[in-house]
Amino acid sequence: MISEAFIPAVSSLGAVALTLGVIIHYVSKKFHVEEDPMVTIVNDILPGVNCGACGYPSCGQFAEVLVDTKDSSMTCPVGGSDLAAKLGETLGITMAEPKPQIAVLLCQGDNDTAKETAEYLGIQDCWAATQAFVGPKQCRYSCVGLGSCIAYCDFNAMSLENGLVVIDKDLCTGCEACISACPTGVLVMQEKKAERYFIACNSHDKGAATKKACEAGCIACQKCVKVCEDNAIVIENFLARIVQEKCTACGKCIDVCPTKVNCIRLENDLKAVKQKKAS
């Protein structure tokens, strides 16, 4: 009969299950690790993207250390001030206000302004291209324009437009994942501000060489240095740099910049600057 066939199978499996159940129960009691429930709560508040911007490999690790040390200087750059307030409330401490950072591309050499070296037919990736030669653009400091960094962005903040990487300032959380993915080092982190001027060029070549390779390059002419009333612009190694702490965003430097496509850029408002030059 069927039942006769079932009885030994069910009873033997049942016995095995029961024995194992008892063992598991015993082991879990014996080796129980007391976990702070706070870690789970904090972990749930965190963005959970494991981007590593805080310096820890994952959000879980960050939560563990934060709950353990209650160090108020620890910040999650991705979450911003909202998250800091929430974390502080949960833990009963005042968290430091994180300085929001944003990835900035120091290059304006798109397919129109930068001169091409040669037709590149190999693997369409910045690292592969720079292994073969200087890159599709003559300027060796430029954005290679094949978008290796885009794949590393967890927040879909990057896209490729006319041979240049464009960063969406609202989506960028400042996690720095793209910085190490760039072979020419043309991507840098800067503090996020409502209005901010910066030199969108990375070329350390002498003026003539820069101009030969790109119409939007800084030729280190010193005009912006002379006009700046705050002494916020310095020239280092044939490249101007705006010292953000001194800059009052008066915009005088933009008017004097002689390069065809202005190498000084106002964040938030690139298009307006370009139009101004054309008219």
Partner 1 sequence: MKTFKIGGVHPPENKLTEHIAIEVMPVPAELAISLNQHLGKPAKPLVKMGDEVRKGQLIGQADGFISANVHASTSGKVKAVKPHPHPGGQYAMTVFITPDGKDEWAEGMNTEPVDWKKFSREEIIQKIKDAGIVGMGGAGFPTNVKLSPPPDKSIDTIILNGAECEPFLTADHRLMVEYPKEVIAGLDIIASLFRGEAKSFIGIESNKQDAIDTLKKHAAASGIEVVSLKTKYPQGAEKQLINAITGRTIEEGELPFDKGCLVQNIGTAVAIYEAVCMNKPLIERVLTVSGMEIGQRKNIMARVGTTFKDLIAFCDNMSAKTNQIISGGPMMGKAIFSLDVPVVKTTSGILFLNNTALEKSKERTCIRCGKCVDVCPQGLGPWLLANVAQMREFDDIQLYGLANCTECGSCTFVCPSKRELVHWIKYAKALVNNRQKRKSA
Q: Is 134 in the site for partner 1 (CB under 8 A)?
A: yes
Site for partner 1 in 252-271 (CB under 8 A): none
Output 148-156 pairs: Cβ under 8 A, ≥24 positions apart.
148/181, 148/182, 148/183, 149/178, 149/181, 149/182, 149/187, 150/178, 151/181, 152/177, 152/178, 152/180, 152/181, 153/177, 153/178, 154/49, 154/51, 155/49
User: Minimum CB separation from partner 1 for residue 124, in Å?
Assistant: 6
Binding partner 1 (rule: CB under 8 A), the pick from 39, 96, 128, 189 is: 128
- Please tell me whether 224 is known to bind a ligand: no
Q: Which amino acid is at 214?
A: C
Q: Is 180 in the site for partner 1 (CB under 8 A)?
A: yes
User: Minimum CB separation from partner 1 for residue 140, in Å?
Assistant: 6
Site for partner 1 in 79-118 (CB under 8 A): 117-118
Which of 94, 180 has the CB closer to partner 1?
180
Q: Is 185 in the site for partner 1 (CB under 8 A)?
A: no
User: Minimum CB separation from partner 1 for residue 130, in Å?
Assistant: 8
Beta-bridge partners for 197? 266
Contact 53, 78 (CB under 8 A): yes
Binding partner 1 (rule: CB under 8 A), the pick from 11, 23, 127, 277 is: 127
Q: Which amino acid is at 202?
A: N
CB proximity list for 163: less than 8 A, separation 6 or greater: 109, 110, 111, 114, 136, 137, 143, 145
CA 183 to CA 262: how far, in whole Å? 25
As a dihedral over the C-alpha atoms of residue 53, residue 57, residue 58, residue 61, rounded to 10 degrees, the angle is -110
Residue with token string 């590393």: 152
Site string for partner 1, 144-163 (x = CB under 8 A): -------x------------
Q: Left, alpha or beta for 20 (phi > 0: left; psi -120 to 50: alpha)?
A: alpha
Binding partner 1 (rule: CB under 8 A), the pick from 1, 5, 121, 194 is: 121
Binding partner 1 (rule: CB under 8 A), the pick from 205, 210, 228, 259 is: 205
> What is the size of the binding site for partner 1 (CB under 8 A)?
21
User: Minimum CB separation from partner 1 for residue 261, in Å?
Assistant: 23
Contact 133, 118 (CB under 8 A): yes
User: Minimum CB separation from partner 1 for residue 189, in Å?
Assistant: 14
Binding-site residues from annotation for [4Fe-4S] cluster: 51, 54, 59, 76, 139, 143, 149, 153, 172, 175, 178, 182
Q: Which residues bind partner 1 (CB under 8 A)?
A: 117-118, 121-125, 127-128, 130-134, 140, 151, 180, 183, 205-206, 209
